[in-house]
């Protein structure tokens, strides 16, 4: 069974704002949640409106703000039920002492308390109040009840408070709350991917970026690869349920969420790490790295001084990483990349056969609108003869979209592999 995790829609979050000076942080929180890709609708209690206006939240969220229990503009006048069904998470931040008490007692005398009872979505509360109110026994009893009922309580921070006291009771910073929410959904999505993803249970190794072949301590031979395509593939493979290791040359990209990363510089070091991954266990090897074909025969110990119009440097051939891996007895499914400037498909088809690959993706790096430095790409994919699959043309799209299409191609090829015992 295959399930494409990438098609899960952005999650819907109801941010409920209750009365308290920390309500100003909620405005920033809306922006941070939106930046992370969430759909946000805001619910405000009467107390919250004394600190900040609904118009502020409407402008930040792009949605009308909900303040009344009975909404004449809602379907059947029951806006609270529609909201309860819409939400994937109800986040109350700040959560006042009064709100915690209502939730614990099961009251339903306003929009928020009714939403709490009506929604099937997880409920998170971020309490914010005076330190003595937080420490009070009734508040702690209410918190214990909520935790027993399955509510996730985000503990307050300690520090100076608006009233002048110092202690526990400050609402965490918006960036921290948004990070916790994002991680929660990432973990939930990952759990689905590990069970139903296109590459669920597969161990994937990806090489990405350029290599640097030293000439002396300050100079090297390299190329224009940025690693963007390989990093996009690593993120997509992880989202599809794979256990992903990324062997990266010198690039300035952040490691995708959930991906293990090994940094290397030279082609020889990249090969050594690749062989180690093969020994550790690898089901799919994707070679997107632009590996230097040659390295300097003897690297100078000290910086070479300028002395004349010419400098002759002897070069020796680097190992062919993807071909070396493909020749191993227990080889993984091999995916190669071909970055060419002419006769693109002809060269790629030749490499597919010569290097004994299962699949190869080629692109024209002479184009200004795609390739190394661009955020977009366009590729043609060829498959080894035993898969009996026609070539695929991947039209110009973002590298993230191209990565997803490449995963689909890998999945389809694995599905057609007569030697595979996998149940798709």
410 and 262 housed in the same domain: yes
What mean pLDDT comes out for the span 78-102? 90
Query: Is 151 among the domain residues?
Result: yes
Query: Is 421 among the domain residues?
Result: no
What is the rounded distance in angstroms from the CA atom of residue 261 to the CA atom of residue 206? Answer: 10
Look at the chain and report how many structural domains it folds into: 2
What is the rounded distance in angstroms from the CA atom of residue 362 to the CA atom of residue 393? Answer: 10
Whether residue 320 is annotated as binding a ligand: the answer is: yes
pLDDT of 3: 36
The catalytic residue among 163, 237, 282, 362 is: 163
237 and 175 housed in the same domain: no
254 and 356 housed in the same domain: yes
Whether residue 321 is annotated as binding a ligand: the answer is: yes
Question: Does residue 163 have an active-site annotation?
Answer: yes
φ, ψ for residue 93 (rounded to 5)? -150, 110
Q: What is the mean pLDDT of the chain?
A: 90
155 and 212 housed in the same domain: no
Predicted confidence (pLDDT) per residue in 295-341, tens digit? 999 999 999 998 888 888 999 999 999 999 999 998 999 999 988 88
What is the rounded distance in angstroms from the CA atom of residue 245 to the CA atom of residue 280? Answer: 11
pLDDT at 150 over 90: yes
Structural domain ending residue among the three candidates 177, 195, 213: 195
pLDDT of 79: 60
Structural domain ending residue among the three candidates 150, 167, 195: 195
What is the rounded distance in angstroms from the CA atom of residue 90 to the CA atom of residue 283? Answer: 40
What is the rounded distance in angstroms from the CA atom of residue 373 to the CA atom of residue 379? Answer: 15
Burial class of residue 150, CB neighbours in 10 A (0-12, 13-18, 19+): exposed
Does the predicted TM-score (pTM) go above 0.85?
no
pLDDT of 407: 96
- The CATH number assigned to the domain holding 26 equals 3.40.50.1950
Query: Is 3 among the domain residues?
Result: no
Query: Is 424 among the domain residues?
Result: no
Whether residue 319 is annotated as binding a ligand: the answer is: yes
226 and 307 housed in the same domain: yes
Q: b/e for 2-27, b at 16 or more Cβ within 10 A?
A: ebbbbeeeebbbbbbbbbbebbbbbb
Query: Is 420 among the domain residues?
Result: no
- The CATH number assigned to the domain holding 275 equals 3.40.50.10300
> Cβ distance 314 to 347 under 8 Å?
no
167 and 240 housed in the same domain: no
What is the rounded distance in angstroms from the CA atom of residue 296 to the CA atom of residue 219? Answer: 11
* Residue from 359, 278, 257, 382 nearest 321 by CA: 278
167 and 245 housed in the same domain: no
Whether residue 335 is annotated as binding a ligand: the answer is: no
Out of 37-46, 83-92, 111-120, 190-199, pick the least confident: 190-199
pLDDT at 1 over 70: no
231 and 102 housed in the same domain: no
238 and 339 housed in the same domain: yes
162 and 52 housed in the same domain: yes
pLDDT of 6: 41
171 and 252 housed in the same domain: no
342 and 397 housed in the same domain: yes
Structural domain ending residue among the three candidates 195, 230, 249: 195
Whether residue 305 is annotated as binding a ligand: the answer is: no
Query: Is 295 among the domain residues?
Result: yes
Range of the domain at 277: 199-415
At 419, the pLDDT band (50, 70, 90 cuts) reads low
């Amino acid at each position: 069974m295959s399930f494409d995790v990438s098609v899960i829609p952005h999650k819907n979050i109801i941010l409920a704002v209750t009365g308290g000076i920390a309500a100003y942080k909620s405005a920033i929180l809306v922006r941070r949640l939106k930046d992370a890709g969430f759909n946000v609708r805001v619910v405000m209690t009467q107390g919250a409106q004394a600190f900040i206006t609904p118009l502020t939240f409407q402008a930040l969220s792009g949605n009308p703000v909900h303040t009344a229990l009975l909404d004449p503009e809602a379907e059947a006048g029951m806006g609270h039920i529609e909201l309860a069904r819409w939400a994937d998470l109800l986040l109350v931040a700040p959560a006042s002492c009064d709100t915690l008490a209502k939730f614990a007692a099961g009251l339903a005398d306003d929009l928020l308390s009714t939403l709490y009872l009506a929604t099937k979505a997880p409920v998170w509360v971020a309490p914010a109040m005076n330190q003595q109110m937080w420490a009070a026994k009734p508040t702690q009893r209410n918190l214990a009840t909520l935790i027993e009922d399955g509510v996730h309580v985000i503990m307050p921070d300690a520090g100076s408070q608006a009233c002048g006291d110092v202690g526990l009771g400050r609402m965490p910073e918006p960036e921290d709350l948004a990070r916790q929410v994002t991680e929660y959904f990432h973990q939930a999505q990952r759990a689905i991917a590990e069970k139903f993803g296109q590459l669920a249970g597969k161990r994937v190794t990806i090489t990405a970026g350029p290599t640097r072949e030293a000439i002396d301590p300050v100079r090297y031979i390299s190329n224009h690869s940025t690693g963007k395509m390989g990093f996009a593939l690593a993120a997509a493979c992880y989202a599809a349920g794979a256990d992903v290791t990324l062997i990266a040359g010198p690039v300035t990209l952040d490691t995708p969420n959930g991906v293990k990363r090994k940094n290397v510089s030279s082609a020889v070091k990249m090969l050594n790490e690749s062989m180690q991954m093969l020994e550790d266990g690898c089901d799919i090897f994707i070679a997107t790295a632009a590996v230097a074909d040659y390295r300097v025969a003897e690297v100078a110990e000290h910086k070479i001084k300028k002395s004349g119009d010419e400098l002759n440097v002897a070069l020796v051939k680097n190992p062919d990483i993807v071909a070396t891996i493909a020749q191993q007895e227990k080889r993984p499914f091999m995916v190669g990349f071909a970055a060419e400037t002419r006769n693109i498909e002809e060269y790629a088809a030749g490499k597919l056969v010569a290097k004994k690959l299962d699949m190869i993706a080629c692109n024209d790096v002479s184009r200004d609108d795609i390739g190394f430095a661009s955020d977009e790409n366009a590729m043609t994919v060829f498959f080894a003869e035993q898969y009996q699959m026609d070539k695929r043309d991947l039209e110009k799209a973002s590298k993230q979209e191209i990565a997803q299409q490449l995963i689909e191609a890998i999945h389809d090829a694995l599905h057609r592999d007569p030697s595979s015992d996998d149940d798709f």
